[in-house]
Amino acid sequence: MSDLAQALASLEAAAQADLAAALDVSAVDAVRVRYLGRKGSLAAILRGLGGLDAAERPLAGKLANEVKTRVEAAIGTRRGALVAVAQAAALAAERLDVTLPGQPVAMGRLHPSTQVLRRICQIWANMGFQIYRSRDVESDELNFELLNIPAHHPARDMWDTFYTETEGVLLRTHTSPGQIHAMREFHPEPIRVILPGMCYRYEQITARSEIQFHQVEGLAVGRHITMTDLKGTLISFAHRMFGANRQVRFRASYFPFTEPSAEMDVECLICGGSGCGICKQSGWLEILGCGMVHPRVLQNGGYDPSVFSGFAFGMGPERITMLLHRIDDIRFFWGNDLRFLEQF
């Protein structure tokens, strides 16, 4: 027994001496392995416990544990001190190197419909049209009445509307009320404006229709503006937007605020006119509505329709984005799904 106590005492003394001599963390770790490791000195002593009398074993085990605990504590203390010294030395030596390359930041980008909306606006700006913004919450008067869509007129069925709890206040169903604002602001000067913005319709959400979507509408008012100006201007837009060689065609249509009214198609972007699933085998894609501003609407804007005339048009950037990128479901636009958005 006293032999064992002697061996433990000298083990502890040797470990303390080695620790005092250890000048870095790896030297301390080597001390741990040497004395406390599985093949270390303490393990060797403990294997000798088997040779003791059964009565002596508990006391011997206790002694060995006490030595082990003290040596472990000493190792921890020495290690902590050396780590602190090493850190202080590193801080002093390793100054901030501002020439190192920075951490790359994950860049966001514009929503696909914003990208197309901006391209459309840029083309119209290049053609001399000024961007005119107006409110999303509108009056019944501007959204409908002044656009020649009186209450109870069957044409109102073309726009399913979100009404607010305030009588006569609604979410605009098109950007057209902004054109009344523009006319009333600028008359009797001539106008060339485009109106990009969000519109709202109380509709079933399906692959083809959403309750919110953008529109870009345009308006030109002046003296001697004719249907020829409308056609030439819109053809020029289509060539800038879809390519200089694209065929376009106009079809007669109906809108309450224009007379005559038309829709413009471009040669199918997918098949080039030979017929495919996207253009329903027609070879044509409808991209906008247009017409000569109805005299009553000109009058509501403050212009004398016997002197002034104008043309107007409207298009849906989401629809155009879908055609350009072959997106087959409009719900992707406001679905906030990164798997969709990160493709653009």
Q: Which of 225, 312, 320, 330 binds ligand 2U9 (CB under 6 A)?
A: 312
User: Rounded to an integer, what distance in angstroms lies between the CA atom of residue 7 and that of residue 72?
Assistant: 17
Pick 112 or 316: Cβ nearer ligand 2U9: 316
User: Rounded to an integer, what distance in angstroms lies between the CA atom of residue 136 and that of residue 200?
Assistant: 9
179 binds ligand 2U9 (CB under 6 A): yes
Question: Do residues 36 and 68 lie in contact, with contact meaning Cβ atoms separated by under 8 Å?
Answer: yes
How many residues in the shown chain lie near ligand 2U9 by CB under 6 A? 22
* DSSP annotation of 2: H
The CA-atom distances, in angstroms, between 58 and each of 1, 53, 293 are: 11, 10, 106
Q: At what angle do helices 317-325 and 112-126 cross, to 10 degrees?
A: 110
Of the candidate spans 77-85, 234-242, 255-263, 328-336, the one that interacts with ligand 2U9 by CB under 6 A turns out to be 255-263
21 token code pair: 């001599």
User: Rounded to an integer, what distance in angstroms lies between the CA atom of residue 136 and that of residue 117?
Assistant: 17
Question: Do residues 222 and 308 lie in contact, with contact meaning Cβ atoms separated by under 8 Å?
Answer: yes
Q: Which of 113, 134, 258, 321 binds ligand 2U9 (CB under 6 A)?
A: 258
297 binds ligand 2U9 (CB under 6 A): yes
Our measurement of the distance from residue 74's CA atom to the centroid of its chain's CA atoms, rounded to an integer in Å, reads 56
197 binds ligand 2U9 (CB under 6 A): no
Site for ligand 2U9 in 99-158 (CB under 6 A): 147
Q: Which of 12, 138, 210, 217 binds ligand 2U9 (CB under 6 A)?
A: 217
Q: Which of 230, 290, 327, 330 binds ligand 2U9 (CB under 6 A)?
A: 290
Q: Which of 215, 233, 309, 321 binds ligand 2U9 (CB under 6 A)?
A: 215
Interface ranges with ligand 2U9 (CB under 6 A): 147, 174, 176, 179-180, 215, 217, 219, 255, 257-258, 288-291, 293, 297, 312-316
